[in-house]
């Protein structure tokens, strides 16, 4: 009984005494001598249940307070981090160029030697690919070399230029990419169309930009893509049609061109200065030339490629 008394305490003993007195005042006689002990055990059981309920309520309240406190701390920490995190700097304004002093370079790119005969491409694996198709590795007619990417490689220093809001277009027609070589500024949108009655899969494989791979069913909406970093002659293929290949050159300035079927190009709007002009061909590599432009100059810069040693 001493152990039971320890568990009861003063208030528990008083409550038990009141219950016994209530039984006696009602004139009830115990059926057996142990009735007081039974009442006592029952009382302990009820008390334990109440203690458990009280503990559950207390523990739940404590957990809720902890969660609220943690949420408040996280909110404060996030607010402090947001305040301390430097915001990305706005794009620098384009460096102004005096339109009264701008210069132009133009020229013709030649192929010195006998151009390889274009290989015929078998497109029979897809009945929707109709017509004839030839490889475009080296396109040279009468010595005029097409599809050479020409750009200002050096000389513009730290000048910055606005990214054009107008996208450039890459089309898929006759199960070929049009054009075969495309120039675009970093960040400028490329609108990719599918004019064929078959699904294409556009898959750039860059070195310095993010690689992606996306299918485009017939009659679907154009895809809008862009590249963030400069990369010259970035290869693009089609996973559905392995013969479909083209190149995208991503540059930081608007001063670039691609030679046409006559090997001709033109780059306008250059400020006066000393420049390195790069000529890049997918199979023949790169050749550079130096040129100095005075205000309002127009200079001809031709270039000749020879057959590779391969």
What is the dihedral sign for C-alpha 36, 40, 41, 45? positive
> What pLDDT is recorded for position 132?
87
Confidence of residue 94 (pLDDT cuts 50, 70, 90): confident
Collapse the DSSP code of 192 into the 3-class scheme (helix H, G, I; strand E, B; otherwise coil) and give the result.
strand
- Residue labelled with tokens 């027609």: 173
Confidence of residue 93 (pLDDT cuts 50, 70, 90): confident
Chain segment 270-303, per-residue pLDDT in tens: 999 999 999 999 999 999 999 999 999 999 999 9
| Residue 159 structure tokens | 């000048």
Specify whether the backbone of 12 is left (phi greater than 0), alpha (psi in -120 to 50) or beta. alpha
> What pLDDT is recorded for position 32?
47
Residue burial 122-132, b: 16+ Cβ < 10 Å; e: rest: ebeeeeebeee
Where is 54: in which H helix or E strand? helix 35-84
Contacts 24+ apart (CB under 8 A), 119-125: 121/243, 123/175, 123/241, 123/243, 125/241
Half-sphere exposure of 116 (CA within 13 A, CB side): 14
CA 42/CA 46 separation, integer angstroms = 6
What is the dihedral sign for C-alpha 66, 72, 76, 78? positive
Asked if residue 17 lies in contact with residue 40, where contact means CB atoms within 8 angstroms, the answer is: no
Extract the runs of DSSP E, i.e. beta strands, from 29-155: 103-111, 140-141, 144-145, 149-154
Tell me, what DSSP letter sits at residue 93?
P
Extract the runs of DSSP E, i.e. beta strands, from the chain: 103-111, 140-141, 144-145, 149-154, 168-173, 176-178, 181-185, 190-194, 200-204, 214-216, 223-225, 231-238, 245-251, 256-258, 264-270, 273-281, 285-293, 298-300, 303-305
* 101 pLDDT more than 80: yes
Strand-pair partners of 226: none
Chain segment 40-87, per-residue pLDDT in tens: 555 555 555 556 556 566 566 666 666 666 655 555 555 555 455 455
Query: To the nearest whole percent, how much of the chain has pLDDT over 70?
Result: 70
Chain segment 241-270, per-residue pLDDT in tens: 999 999 999 999 999 999 999 999 999 999
Half-sphere exposure of 79 (CA within 13 A, CB side): 6
> What pLDDT is recorded for position 44?
55
Residue burial 54-87, b: 16+ Cβ < 10 Å; e: rest: eeeeeeeeeeeeeeeeeeeeeeeeeeeeeeeeee
Residue 283's contacts (CB-CB under 8 Å, 6 or more residues apart) are 137, 138, 308
- Residue labelled with tokens 């030679």: 259
Chain segment 130-170, per-residue pLDDT in tens: 888 999 999 999 999 999 999 999 999 999 999 999 999 99
């Amino acid at each position: 009984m001493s152990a039971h008394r320890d568990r009861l305490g003063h208030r528990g003993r008083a409550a038990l005494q009141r219950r016994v007195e209530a039984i006696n005042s009602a004139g009830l006689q115990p059926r057996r001598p142990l009735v007081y002990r039974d009442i006592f055990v029952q009382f302990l059981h009820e008390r334990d249940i109440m203690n458990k309920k009280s503990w559950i309520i207390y523990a739940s309240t404590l957990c809720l307070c902890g969660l609220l406190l943690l949420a408040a701390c996280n909110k404060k920490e996030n607010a402090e981090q947001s305040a301390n995190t430097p915001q990305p700097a706005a794009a620098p304004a384009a460096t102004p160029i005096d339109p009264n002093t701008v210069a132009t370079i133009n020229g013709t790119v030649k192929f010195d030697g006998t151009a390889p005969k274009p290989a015929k491409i078998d497109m029979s694996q897809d009945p929707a690919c109709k017509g004839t198709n030839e490889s475009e590795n080296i396109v040279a007619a009468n010595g005029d070399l097409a599809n050479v990417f020409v750009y200002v490689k050096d000389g513009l220093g730290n000048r910055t230029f606005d990214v054009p809001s107008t996208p450039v277009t890459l089309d898929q027609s006759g199960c070929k990419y049009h054009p075969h070589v495309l120039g675009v500024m970093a960040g400028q949108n490329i609108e990719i169309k599918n004019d064929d009655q078959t699904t294409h899969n556009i898959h750039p494989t860059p070195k310095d930009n993010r690689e992606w791979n996306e299918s485009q069913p017939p009659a679907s909406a154009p895809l809008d893509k862009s590249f963030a970093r400069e990369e010259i002659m970035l290869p693009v293929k089609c996973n559905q049609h392995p013969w479909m290949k083209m190149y995208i050159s991503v540059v930081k300035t608007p001063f670039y061109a691609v030679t046409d079927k006559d090997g001709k190009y033109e780059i306008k709007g250059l400020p006066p200065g000393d420049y390195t002009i790069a000529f890049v061909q997918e199979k023949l590599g790169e050749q550079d030339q130096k040129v100095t432009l005075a205000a309002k100059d127009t200079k001809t810069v031709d270039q000749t490629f020879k057959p590779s040693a391969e």
